[in-house]
């Protein structure tokens, strides 16, 4: 059977926060109650629904490893999340998923990288994270719709994110370049077809903003373009070294 690769972490984090409650235990004391049983029930419903949408596929839960190669690429990666508290039951919920479902964890990478590395034609991808739209293939949406992302659109989404960055993941891309920037309506951008054409466009935009980039990152434009690309790159098939258990860092179009 083919596989439905499930990037479960956003859903697991979400239900764990929903089912954590502040309770007053005394006149001056407050505490948290975290309901693992409610979280399990919600995730079971989600996974049952996904299995119903994809009865010819085996579900494979994808989880991130305790280490993440992107911290070595860009030390400020996800620095905006430091200090944010996970729900008290989150780690137990993760252990429950691993004990009760087929699951895949690859050393040094995140859950969405696992999906990108392991996906092959005939499989399905499920993730509420828009970053997975940089992986070409068939995406199963939460309502059961299957959306096919062509290779060109996956590449376009990736190279666009190299320039816009991702504030939720703490890397900024080119300063003052957002998703609605006028460059993305230009003929020069819209006519890019190959990875080399996209990368040439990206490098040109980084060099045009070299002064802003040096001011923000204290690095030259060429280096930061590659750093941001490695942060944005959801690993694809062939971009993980299974023998040495580490990702293959993106070097640009070959």
pLDDT tens digits, one per residue of 117-166:
999 999 999 999 888 999 999 999 999 999 999 999 999 999 999 999 99
d(CA 231, CA 107): 17
What pLDDT sits at residue 84?
A: 79
Q: Helix (H, G, I), strand (E, B), or coil: what is residue 150?
A: coil
Query: What is the DSSP track for 126-147?
Result: E-S-GGGGGS-EEEE-TTS-EE
pLDDT tens digits, one per residue of 28-78:
999 989 999 999 999 999 999 999 999 999 999 999 999 999 999 999 998
Q: 84 exposed, middle or buried (CB, 10 Å; 0-12, 13-18, 19+)?
A: exposed
């Amino acid at each position: 059977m083919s596989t439905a690769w499930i990037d479960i972490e956003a859903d697991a984090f979400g239900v764990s926060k929903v089912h954590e409650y502040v309770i007053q235990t005394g006149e001056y004391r407050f505490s948290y109650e975290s309901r693992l049983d409610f979280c399990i029930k919600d995730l079971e419903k989600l996974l049952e629904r996904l299995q119903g949408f994809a009865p010819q596929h085996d579900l494979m839960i994808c989880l991130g490893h305790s280490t993440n190669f992107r911290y070595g690429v860009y030390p400020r990666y996800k620095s905006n999340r430091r200090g944010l508290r996970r729900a008290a039951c989150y780690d137990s919920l993760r252990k429950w998923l691993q004990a009760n479902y087929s699951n895949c964890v690859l050393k040094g990478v995140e859950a969405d990288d696992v999906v990108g590395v392991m996906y092959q034609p005939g499989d399905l991808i499920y993730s509420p994270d828009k970053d997975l739209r940089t992986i070409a293939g068939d995406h199963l949406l939460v309502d059961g719709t299957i959306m096919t992302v062509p290779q060109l659109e996956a590449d376009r989404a990736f190279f666009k994110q190299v320039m816009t960055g991702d504030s939720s993941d703490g890397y900024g891309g080119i300063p003052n370049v957002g998703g609605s920037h006028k460059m993305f309506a230009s003929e020069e951008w819209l006519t890019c077809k190959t990875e080399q054409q996209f990368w040439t466009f990206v490098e040109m935009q980084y060099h045009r903003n070299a002064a802003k980039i040096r001011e923000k990152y204290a690095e030259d434009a060429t280096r930061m373009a590659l750093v941001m690309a490695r942060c944005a790159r959801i690993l694809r098939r062939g971009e993980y070294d299974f023998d040495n258990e580490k990702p293959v860092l993106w070097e640009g179009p070959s």
